[in-house]
């Protein structure tokens, strides 16, 4: 067997081992979520956030896009903090979770208000070749 053939065999072996390791890791994570409802809720909050953020379409206005992406990010923080309050034991982290809920909800309200106030405002069209003004943004919240 030549050196190239040996390298191919070794590469296949390493890939197989890596895949097997990832499968074990996923299986362990799935088992953990089955016995730990807090873990399941934390992961669900993250999945919901990612789906919401990925559904936001570019508006051509960085301010609008920033706010529309930050709202689900902040909501995930609120949801995860609520999970900490339900299942967490550490007094320090429970206190932090309560602060996160208060702060993030306040910021979500502020961002929603900003979006309402700027819904009809025109983006800055003085930027050359920015594409600004060609698309209208639609609130996904």
Domains and CATH numbers, the chain: 37-118 (1.20.1260.10)
Rounded to whole angstroms, the Cα distance separating 80 from 49 reads 11
pTM: 0.62
pLDDT tens readout for residues 117-136: 998 554 433 333 333 333 33
pLDDT tens readout for residues 65-104: 999 999 999 999 999 999 999 999 999 999 999 999 999 9
Non-local CB neighbours of 87 within 8 Å, separated by 6+ positions: 37, 38, 41
Count Cα atoms within 13 angstroms, Cβ side, for 94: 7
Token output for 78: 């609120």
């Amino acid at each position: 067997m030549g050196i190239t053939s040996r390298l191919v065999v070794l590469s296949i072996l390493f890939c197989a081992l890596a895949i097997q390791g990832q499968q074990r890791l996923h299986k362990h994570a799935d088992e953990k979520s089955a016995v730990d409802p807090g873990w399941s809720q934390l992961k669900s909050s993250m999945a919901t956030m990612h789906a919401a953020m990925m559904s936001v379409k570019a508006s051509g206005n960085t301010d609008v896009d920033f706010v529309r992406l930050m709202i689900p990010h902040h909501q995930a923080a609120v949801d995860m903090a609520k999970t900490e309050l339900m299942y967490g034991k550490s007094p320090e982290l429970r206190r932090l979770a309560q602060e996160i809920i208060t702060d993030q909800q306040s910021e979500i309200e502020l961002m929603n208000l900003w979006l309402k106030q700027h819904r009809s405002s025109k983006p800055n069209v003085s930027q050359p070749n920015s594409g600004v003004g060609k698309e209208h943004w639609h609130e996904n919240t």
